[in-house]
Amino acid sequence: MGQPYPPFRAAKGRRVFGGIRRWLTAAAGALALTGGLVAVGPQASAAGLTQVTGFGSNPGSLTMHAYAPDGLPAGAPLVLALHGCTQSASDYYAHSGWPKFADQYEFAVVFPQTTSANNANSCFNWFDSADSTRGQGEALSLKQMVDTAVARYGSDTGRVYITGLSAGAGMTANMLAAYPDVFAGGSIDSGLPALCATSVSAAYTCMYSPPNKTPAQWGDLVRSAAPAGTTSWPRVAIWQGTSDTTVVPANATELRDQWTNVWGIGQTPSRTESLSGGTTLSEYDDAGGRPAVSVYSVSGMAHGLAVDPGSGAEQCGTTGTYYLDTICSSYHTARFWGLDGEGGGGGTPGTLPAPTGLTVGGTTDTTVSLSWSPVGGAASYQVYRGGTKVGTTTSASYTDTGLSTATTYAYTVAAVDSAGATGAASAQVSATTTGFRATCHTASNYDQVAAGRAYQSGGYTYANGSQQAMGLWNTFTTHTLKQTAPGYYVLADSGCSA
């Protein structure tokens, strides 16, 4: 797969940076820039992707494209969605899944676009301070798009969000640092810490071996980029594949350190939860008990945007180059921001007190039963799993169903008054479903033995439990083992689902 993250520029009156031949060769196999502005996404709506011109002085020489559902009410949220290298606005519109949730939750989406005239591989120039600093270059062009969209659609200036993939994620992080007064939240998908690089050489370092700064050092970079005296910060989602070799997973750790420090909270998660697609969610709460930073680690995912094609409520997008079938990141990001109107980072709590006595009454392989003490004045209760609302009940008990086996979940409950206002959330409890969860492991015979999944005898390797022969005990022979019970593994080279 071609690398979608070449950090060099080939225009705007600046010098052409080194390494172009190598990156052009890599880009030849990557996704070609799509032309046209006609919507080609799977979502059904009379609205479509349109180009918006005359959105300001546009010092970054970007183009603005927007999607607004028909009948969008005034005061709706606004999302900016930045494509990755070798991609375009229409490509991101078609694959990312954002139009589906714009229709469902009623908000407008701006899809900014850069071109090969700005960067030889159509990357946003996240590594160049002339383009990523407040009031300059591409950063100012993006801010002008926000202003134009707010005026055009009557968007709520208190609910403006930004997301991006790869180079678009690098620019997203910088925009959150430079404009915390503009964005209520952001999502950095396969990206890097804000201001990690201000040169080409530093960009490569960040991508492949990010600096191991302290949380305070990372946080200081954000504080130095923001307007003086800033005290309110955006809520940040961080998405990262564990098998990403273009922007290595260590970047997600540095991003977590950076934004938790900005929020003044620690680096120990308030809760963790297993989601679909092999995704682990770690949440870091602010002082009020609401997630300020959420890290989504997708097991085995390479470099790209997590999508999950299908018609289900939690599914979205279509697969393609750098659009990887794992989990719908756009759905979970929209929920984290509170765009669905149900909790998330953007809800305003009512006056009812937090329920007390939340306890786990029992678990099965797929269910968790909860109960709590009734709250006076409560008309109903909302139950949250990992910060996302999963049910409403009028009684002081609830059974959550359809869960994964042998998985730990975190729960809170909030009371809702007769006017529909949601009160403060309860203290969190954790519950683990029963049963055994099958797992798959691909490695050399040597590593399988070292991990305790196999054993060697007479220079040959055998799977623990099944004792199936795996060949010579060395680092050159590779097999996939599926664990079907504690200590029991079977060969699964023809395909392994867990």
Contact yes or no for 444/476 (Cβ under 8 A): yes
Tokens 């208190």, residue located: 158
Tokens of 383: 């139950």
Ramachandran angles phi, psi of 207, nearest 5°: -65, -45
The whole-angstrom separation of Cα 455 and Cα 464 is 6
* 448 three-class SS: helix
Q: What is the Cα–Cα distance from 398 to 388, expressed in whole angstroms? A: 15
Tokens 């409560």 locate to: 378
Spatial strand order in the sheet of 291-298: 50-52, 63-67, 108-113, 78-82, 160-165, 185-189, 235-241, 291-298, 279-285, 271-275
C-alpha distances in Å from residue 128, one per residue of 15, 125, 160, 202: 12, 6, 24, 10
**Three-class DSSP category at 261:** helix
Residues 93-121: b if buried by 16+ CB within 10 A, e if exposed: bbbbbbbbbbbbbbbbbbbbbbeeebbbb
Q: Measure Cα distances from 250 to 234, 246, 256, 259, 304 in Å.
A: 22, 11, 10, 15, 16
Query: 79 near 103, Cβ under 8 Å?
Result: no
Active site residues: 166
User: In this structure, are residues 65 and 37 in contact, taking their beta carbons and an 8 Å threshold?
Assistant: yes
Which strand (E) or helix (H) includes residue 81? strand 78-82
Asked whether 415 and 381 are in contact (CB, 8 A), the reply is: yes
Query: Judging by beta carbons within 10 Å of its beta carbon (0-12, 13-18, 19+), is residue 291 exposed, middle or buried?
Result: buried
Per the DSSP assignment, residues forming a β-bridge with 463 are 454
Q: Alpha carbon 300 to chain centroid distance? A: 15
